[in-house]
Amino acid sequence: MEVSGKMEKWCAVVNIFAASRKAVNMWRKAESHLKKDGVPYEALMTGDGGNAMNLTCTACGEGYRKFIAVGGDGTVHDVLEGIMFFIEGRKIAGEEVSLADFTLAVIPVGSGNDWIKTSGVPRDIAKAASLFSNGRIAQQDVVKVSLLDPSALPEERVLRISYMANVGGVGLDAKVCEMVNRDKCRGKRGKILYVKALLYHIIHRVPSFARVVCDGKKVFEGSYLSMALGIGKYSGGGMRQTPEAVMDDGLLDLTIIPELPMSIIARKVPKLFTGKFHTVRQLVLSRSRSIVVVPYDEALPCAAVPGDPVEVDGEVVGHAPVKFEIVPSQLNILTL
């Protein structure tokens, strides 16, 4: 098929490991709806064929511009990264490729599926598949996440780049993701994994120190428990750390939980699940296009130190210092 033909054809990237390896069977159900509705597509499977990011990046090079992430939040993240790394590679080669040329759809077969809660994609597979014939195209922001070299600050020397479709975090948030991901590798599933990991790390917490700069202005300096940064509202299997985030407003929502007494934490944790977390007066809230988190040692405040782990869409990608920034273009998404 010529490149021009592939631009109008959907490329489904199926994560065979999602949903406790039941993803392929669940994809077959969605596939039957696509065939019935005459939706043109090609399916690529992870595993022997490569991971979702590499499959997507290669497909971009072959001419595909419309992608279906078949999996959970991790698959959405990987497909987005495949698109973004292709775009960045083309820019380095002197070619202009815009994020606005790409469209992302999701068939949700994962365990968390937090991205769809904000984007409006139905959890039911048949209903999600029906969007290809009766859905609409909306837009969402994309966040570039740059892990920085602590020894080079204040110069922003980038060690690694990732991209975010939903919510990321620094500190306890990332430690929870590490524990949950280990449990998932052992075959465990369910929202209770996030709750157990959250409680464990609250009880065993160790204070960390950081400066946070939003659009060039310092908004926080001191000891903190956790930070969440989001263009989506949901993370961790339904927690709402950034409950007022808007996916297409060009801004990142930031929620910082300072180090607090255990009595206050115990009273406020339930609000993580009710959408009222932003009403907790002890929190530091901000909304901006760019956020930089720089860790420091209280005893040696000017020394370069590696910070807490950083997670992006539920995947731990490294450690602070880190910069989150909205990219100039938006991604098209298929939704209700």
Single out the residue in 134, 165, 188 at which a domain terminates.
134
Let me know whether 163 and 284 are in one domain.
yes
Specify if 334 maps to a domain: no
Q: What is the pLDDT of residues 220-246, one digit of tens each?
A: 999 999 999 999 999 987 889 999 999
pLDDT in tens, the chain (336 residues): 456 578 889 999 999 887 667 788 899 999 999 999 999 999 999 976 669 999 999 999 999 999 999 999 999 999 999 999 999 999 999 998 999 999 999 999 877 789 999 999 999 999 999 999 999 999 999 999 999 999 988 899 999 999 999 999 999 888 887 788 787 777 776 667 777 887 887 787 777 899 999 999 999 999 999 999 999 999 987 889 999 999 999 999 999 999 888 888 888 888 988 899 999 999 999 999 999 999 998 766 666 777 999 999 989 999 999 999 999 999 999 999
Cα(112)–Cα(183) distance, integer angstroms: 13
Single out the residue in 99, 134, 169 at which a domain terminates.
134
DSSP β-bridge partners for residue 161: 146
Let me know whether 117 and 191 are in one domain.
no
Let me know whether 160 and 63 are in one domain.
no
**pLDDT number for residue 239:** 87
Single out the residue in 76, 109, 134 at which a domain terminates.
134
Q: How many domains does the chain have?
A: 2
Q: CATH code at 18?
A: 3.40.50.10330
Let me know whether 79 and 130 are in one domain.
yes
Let me know whether 125 and 161 are in one domain.
no
Let me know whether 187 and 103 are in one domain.
no
Specify if 215 maps to a domain: yes
Let me know whether 104 and 218 are in one domain.
no
Let me know whether 266 and 213 are in one domain.
yes
Specify if 335 maps to a domain: no
- Note down the domain range covering 53: 3-134
Let me know whether 188 and 254 are in one domain.
yes
Let me know whether 16 and 105 are in one domain.
yes
Let me know whether 284 and 164 are in one domain.
yes
